[in-house]
Structure 1
């Protein structure tokens, strides 16, 4: 019996299956407006990004770490003289992010429904456990996945573990997502296929060069093109 080249497909969640980054951008705009009396928006955003970089090792990825980084940035920019009302507002917008309705992206449900049953489908997402579980439940897509993996980070080691546990090996697996850094490059390094699905908004810390010379790299315009890509690889 000849094995199919692909048996397992992993999907990223944020900005691959549903909108995410646009809400962070709107929150950051609100944050810079709150501190408009202390610094220019570009300076505030730059300091916030530096805080986020520093804090990844402590808080990981997600809204809670983003909220704490906003508070830290506000304290830095104001020399610890930030008004209490500003801190209160930052906490409020952080809570709003944690309860924002889920908006699935075009082709997400149709593509998953088309592939379900023919492939072992895994949701592979990083970030806060409670928030990712909430978004998956609200998306209505959970029933289409055979497994869900919520991880602290996405590395080649992560994908080797995930695809070995949820399939026979990374060699017969594929990872699909909007982040080259988290979804594509490490999956290819693990031995899997990496499919890049660009999103108009991608966090700067998730941007790296496309691995165009990698034999297992592919790019599609949207998730609706995935079934045809899979057919071409069989």
Structure 2
């Protein structure tokens, strides 16, 4: 039987990426006199890729990448008020209320009495702690892990720390690249719950070996998938 269920947070339990998309649209408006929106989006994505190793994942790194991109596309002539608006947009993102995705609260509440639940999320520590606290779900989890990145080694360390055998552990998330593939590589089961709005950097193909991979139509299908996995074990 499965013993432990692990969950991603952003865009699995609550909305997140759409706020990045909204801010990026505002960013394009601010720089419309300097560059076409499509080219700006390409430049920003390139900056985000370059900066992941410096700033990690999260809003602060996103804001710094926008500022860097604004300087690049304007040959360092971007007005100060534009930089100020970029910073203000990032500050708004850091205070945005948490909105749970459909079915999340009821599903998590129903699973909590029967399994050990662990929340595994990546990004800025303070921002992730804020979102967990505001979500109202924090007390339902037996453990919370905030990591700089999600790799097979990171998952293995978490499984060891929580004394949960990988083959009795399931990871649920919206990112194929961060939530599903590395968890399966670490020996766990993986359930992909597509969100619909996915950051390009998080895109990846499903695993070739699908024996431990499942795709959910939505979060509410999770109990059905868990039952199916346990029936096959």
In structure 2, what is the equivalent of residue 221 of structure 1? Answer: 217
In structure 2, what is the equivalent of residue 39 of structure 1? Answer: 35
Q: 1:233 aligns with which of 198, 217, 229?
A: 229
How far did residue 222 of structure 1 move?
1.0
1:151 paired to 2:147: yes
In structure 2, what is the equivalent of residue 178 of structure 1? Answer: 174
In structure 1, what is the equivalent of residue 135 of structure 2? Answer: 139
In structure 1, what is the equivalent of residue 161 of structure 2? Answer: 165
Q: 1:61 aligns with which of 46, 57, 60?
A: 57
Deviations 1:73-103 (A, max 9, x none): 0000010100000000000000000000100
- 1:8–1:167 CA contact under 8 A, matched in 2: no
How far did residue 212 of structure 1 move?
5.1
Q: Please, what TM-score do these two structures have when normalized by structure 2?
A: 0.97
In structure 1, what is the equivalent of residue 122 of structure 2? Answer: 126
> Residue 176 of structure 1 aligns to a residue in which SS?
strand
1:23 paired to 2:19: yes
In structure 2, what is the equivalent of residue 13 of structure 1? Answer: 9
How far did residue 171 of structure 1 move?
1.6
1:188 paired to 2:197: no
Indicate the RMSD between aligned Cα atoms, in angstroms: 0.8
- 1:174–1:193 CA contact under 8 A, matched in 2: yes
> Residue 108 of structure 2 aligns to a residue in which SS?
helix
In structure 2, what is the equivalent of residue 52 of structure 1? Answer: 48
- 1:160–1:169 CA contact under 8 A, matched in 2: no
In structure 2, C-alpha distance between the alignment counterparts of 1:165 and 1:232, rounded to whole Å: 27
Alignment length (residue pairs): 230
In structure 1, C-alpha distance between the alignment counterparts of 2:153 and 2:208, rounded to whole Å: 22
Unmatched runs of 5 consecutive residues or more in structure 2: none
Q: Please, what TM-score do these two structures have when normalized by structure 1?
A: 0.97
How far did residue 163 of structure 1 move?
1.3
1:100 paired to 2:124: no
In structure 2, C-alpha distance between the alignment counterparts of 1:166 and 1:118, rounded to whole Å: 16
In structure 2, C-alpha distance between the alignment counterparts of 1:230 and 1:70, rounded to whole Å: 41
